[in-house]
Structure 1
């Protein structure tokens, strides 16, 4: 009786497996396997859903709550005397009430120096009434000045870690020769237009100190001579 029941079960299983609805071809089996192996969509139950409301509940009155809009890590830090208060068309106004006009400015080691990077020994422009006249762009349109314009940087020690260059009203790429010369002095460069360069100097000089950060700025009213 037991052998007969076993044979009936075996035949029933064979008929079930041989039905068309239960058979898969080799190609279909391979396709199903590959589809499962490469499927990356997250299950619907695990997908994040958008919030139903943006209400964050009642405002907390705890003293420990942080007001990020009022957070200012440099609030009690005194700005250096050589920080830039304003950029004018032909010069700069410093935090120590000094006004510089008719030239650029070098801010190094807490000192301010008048700077005429457009001066050339073989040319007469850039002096007297022509103080804001000259050329600083080479044939490729790159910002390029003579090595003599960086004489203060050569003499000072220790040298600043970072020099922020403001190239005038617009950001202009500097010539490879200028970058190589300053990098050989061990100074990193940050090139921006003068307004952003002045703001960057104010922030970094306050945070890191004037011994680490220097600036070389061309007035925002500078116009390249044609």
Structure 2
């Protein structure tokens, strides 16, 4: 991808065409492949950039992990939450805070969340993903 710049706390895309979308290229072994690079640990993926997440499990998730997502412009209408190797419920405080911010959330295993994010992004939906790592 062209015109990417690395900033503290993530990678931000400066320019993006319809044919140059930020897709999840792969996952496993504790990380993700995006932009032709490996990212260890959890990530937030927005059409405009990739940002690290400190939580490694669903129980560690806090609304602060969604800060970049909630400050995005435009704010996504939906965040897909990849909960690891199996679907698990996100803490109710996180779900409530996302709902109050006007962002819907859907929880699924990380592989399904990564694939669904790619499909929805290709359909030009305002979508984001918070993906927790799988081994």
Give the alignment's TM-score, normalised by structure 2.
0.78
Q: In the alignment, does 2:13 pair up with 1:97?
A: no
Distance in 1, matches of 2:93 and 2:45, equals 22
> Match for residue 19 of structure 2?
78
Matched residues, number:
118
State which of 170, 179, 183 in structure 1 corresponds to 2:86: 170
Give the alignment of 1:42-191 within 5 angstroms.
Answer: 78=19, 80=21, 82-94=22-34, 96-101=35-40, 103-118=41-56, 136-137=58-59, 145-191=61-107
Structure scoring higher RCO (CA < 8 A, sep ≥ 6) equals: 2
> Match for residue 213 of structure 1?
127
Distance in 1, matches of 2:20 and 2:116, equals 13
Q: Larger radius of gyration, structure 1 or 2?
A: 1
What secondary structure is seen at the aligned counterpart in 1 of 2:116? Answer: helix
What secondary structure is seen at the aligned counterpart in 2 of 1:158? Answer: coil
Which structure's residues are more often strand, by fraction? 2
After the TM superposition, which segments of 4 or more aligned residues of structure 1 sit over 2 Å from their partners? 153-158
Distance in 1, matches of 2:70 and 2:116, equals 23
CA RMSD of aligned residues (A): 1.8
Distance in 2, matches of 1:200 and 1:177, equals 24
